[in-house]
Structure 1
């Protein structure tokens, strides 16, 4: 199997590390910890975690597991795996990259609009908005860029570049459409 070599490995390794680091808060909250969350996360989410609402705990465990899947994806993008698997890696890599960049950019844009006075929030939400603007939004964008770069480098390794590129486009486009639809539906 052909692998990404040398310094070109950093996007896949960074994407893997991003997933692992980002899984920690999900598991911490699922296990009952909420320290520091009230100033950094929407109060309604903190309340759900503090009240140990079953469906929300399940969401936390699932999102933590998905973030660990991102860790595996980052590592998997470091080498060619075989025709079918490479197509799935492109689909997932570009899907994750686009979804994370889009999601993070929305956080940053909304926060900047709040800071500029174009959008208004309840006064108690303004400090939380700053965390989303300057920490969570850029963190999502960083993860998305790492996944997209890792997928791009992986594409150079595969034999079926054209069909893998199509799979990546479907993953990225599908992630964008899904996220836009959820946003329009009032979710996310």
Structure 2
């Protein structure tokens, strides 16, 4: 359910609507939507499709599958758990640092700190924990759980490396 709800904003914003974004998302991103910048609208559609894939993985983790599909589900579930929790954790950490006065932000972004600290960060963390729980629950009763745990760990490590690299380069 979390994954399906997570899809909605991307597709709504990809239509050019800024519903729910004007006070909760960076003004520069809202401007890209409002101006109908094609490459950014494409990013929103692709992001929505990736979120939809994530929702399907979440649903796939609710029932036993064949060996290949199980490995893919656990790999993706482990990756999603780390990616979402890490991303949300960065939002919360940054928000705490801004609120504590240890870090400053541009004046036009100051109003967004609370949204990232209290809404977006926790939302990502809840999603990450949901994927972690679903993946662990999926693996637990399986006879090949040792092998599946390896796939989950590789997915998690890959997501962590991707996240750190994208954060370090300023992409994410």
TM-score, normalised to structure 1, is: 0.89
Deviation readout 1:52-83 (Å, 9 max, x if unpaired): 11111111011111111122111110111011
User: Is residue 114 of structure 1 aligned with residue 98 of structure 2?
Assistant: yes
2:100 aligned with 1:86: no
Residue equivalent to 2:44: 60
Report the Cα offset of residue 111 of structure 1: 0.6
Quote the offset at 1:164 in angstroms. Answer: 0.7
**Aligned equivalents of 2:159 and 2:20: distance in 1?**
31
Higher relative contact order (CA 8 A, sep 6+): 1
Partner of 1:180: 164
Aligned pairs, number? 172
Give structure 1 stretches of 5+ with no counterpart. Answer: 1-16
After TM superposition, give the deviation of residue 157 of structure 1 in Å: 3.2
d(CA) in 1 for partners of 2:68, 2:5: 29
In the alignment, the residues of structure 1 paired with residue 72 and residue 133 of structure 2 have an alpha-carbon distance, to the nearest angstrom, of 16
Equivalence map 1:34-183=2 (5 Å): 34-183=18-167
Distance between the aligned counterparts of 2:11 and 2:19, measured in 1? 13
Shift of 1:125: 0.8
* Cα root mean square deviation, aligned: 0.9
Runs of 4+ in 1 over 3 A off after TM superposition: none
The TM-score, its normalising length taken from structure 2, stands at: 0.97
